């Protein structure tokens, strides 16, 4: 069972941490980190960078979609996650965000969407 994470601060990080915790007792659980660009963490705090590196080092696979940031690289990452998923698990509180864009894409493609903000 594979889980993809976009690696962003917030829910992506919490979800990746939860996947790694589950992997401790179930080695069939795999974490795939899907990065929009190598320098995604360039402006992050030192502590966020450390946790990001730990997640990347612990992941079963890292997919990096671009060397450098460009307009649209986050949307490309979101599309990659949707196109390579069977279910979309999100934490979406409002409809104007990258998360909302990902949820719309997932619904358009017929994926089951689980919005943890609604539970």
Instruction: Work out how many domains the chain is built from and give that number.
Output: 1
Per-residue pLDDT of 59-100, as tens digits, reads: 999 999 999 999 999 999 999 999 999 999 999 988 778 899
CA-nearest of 108, 66, 71, 72 to 88 is 108
Which CATH number is 69's domain given? 3.40.50.450
Long-range CB contacts for residues 9-14, cutoff 8 Å, separation at least 24: 9/44, 9/48, 10/91, 11/90, 11/91, 11/99, 13/48, 13/51, 13/52, 13/55
Range of the domain at 50: 2-118
List, in sequence order, every residue forming a beta bridge with 62; answer none if it has no partner: 33
Is it the case that residue 119 has pLDDT exceeding 80? no
- The band of 35, judged by pLDDT with boundaries at 50, 70 and 90, is very high
CB 16 within 8 A of CB 7: yes
Per-residue pLDDT of 89-116, as tens digits, reads: 999 988 778 899 999 999 999 999 999 9
Give me the chain's average pLDDT, please: 95
């Amino acid at each position: 069972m594979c889980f993809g994470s976009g690696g962003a601060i917030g829910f992506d990080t919490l979800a990746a941490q939860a996947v790694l915790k589950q992997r401790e007792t179930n080695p069939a659980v795999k974490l795939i980190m899907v990065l929009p660009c190598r320098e995604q963490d360039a402006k992050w705090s030192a502590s966020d960078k450390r946790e990001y590196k730990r997640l990347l080092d612990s992941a079963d696979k890292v997919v990096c979609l671009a060397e450098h940031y460009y307009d649209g690289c986050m949307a490309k990452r979101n599309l990659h996650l949707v196109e390579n998923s069977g279910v979309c698990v999100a934490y979406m509180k409002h409809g104007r965000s990258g998360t909302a864009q990902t949820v719309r894409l997932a619904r358009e493609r017929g994926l089951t969407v689980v919005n943890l903000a609604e539970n």
